[in-house]
Amino acid sequence: MAKSNTDKELEKIYEELREMNDSTGRSTGRSEGDSLLSFFVGLLMLAGGLFMIFNNLTVTSSWGGSFFRIGSFNLPNGMVMLPIVIGIAMLFLMKRKVFGWTVIAIGIVIVLLSIMLSTQIHWRRTSAYIFIIMFGLTAAGAGLVLRELFRNRD
């Protein structure tokens, strides 16, 4: 029986697809545009999931009260500012200004650490459906982005 035109066209397409396979049998038919689209869709999904997660967090701080607490050690907030004040005085009193700048830098680090250590993060109440969507979007987006970043480009 003679082959019809559609059978011949299908055979031709099948041969082209077989030629596109490399030696490992993987299809190399994905174009660069498909990879780029997959990467950006993954990036959008990752960003959307992270946005939803961060939108459900509440951040509060207790800094500015009468005491800053590290474990069981209470330190008045004015004492946290003391190294900065001492460093400024050292800038005017000493010939070698590097010591004053060092004390000021240490004071700034202490202030920033005291603010960060007094910060509390709370998770808002949400439904299981939204929870699954948030973390599902984040995981799927991260998977798409990582797949495209670490894909072999033979």
Instruction: Give the residue carrying structure tokens 């509440």.
Output: 58
Expressed as residue numbers, the domain containing 129 is: 32-56+125-154
93 and 139 share one domain: no
Average pLDDT over residues 75-87: 83
DSSP 41-86: HHHHHHHHHHHHHHHTEEEEE-TTSSEEEETTEEEEHHHHTHHHHH
Which tokens hold the place of 137? 């979007």
Interatomic CA distance for residues 124 and 121, integer angstroms: 10
Instruction: Give the residue carrying structure tokens 């797949």.
Output: 147
Average pLDDT over residues 72-81: 72
Backbone angles phi and psi of 76, in degrees to 5: -60, 145
74 and 109 share one domain: yes
Q: Kindly report, residue by residue over 19-74, the tens digit of the pLDDT.
A: 776 444 555 556 677 888 999 999 999 999 999 999 999 988 776 555 555 556 66
| Top-confidence residue, 138 or 2 | 138
pLDDT at position 84, please? 92
Q: Is residue 70 part of a domain?
A: yes
**DSSP code of 120?**
E
Q: Is residue 141 part of a domain?
A: yes
Residue 96: strand, helix, or coil? coil
pLDDT at position 63, please? 64
pLDDT at position 87, please? 93
Record the pTM: 0.56
pLDDT at position 19, please? 74
50 and 63 share one domain: no
Interatomic CA distance for residues 28 and 17, integer angstroms: 9
102 and 48 share one domain: no
pLDDT at position 23, please? 44
Interatomic CA distance for residues 144 and 138, integer angstroms: 10
Q: Kindly report, residue by residue over 88-141, the tens digit of the pLDDT.
A: 999 999 888 899 999 999 999 988 887 787 788 899 999 999 999 999 999 999
Which tokens hold the place of 90? 């050292």
Interatomic CA distance for residues 81 and 75, integer angstroms: 11
Report the domain count for the chain. 2
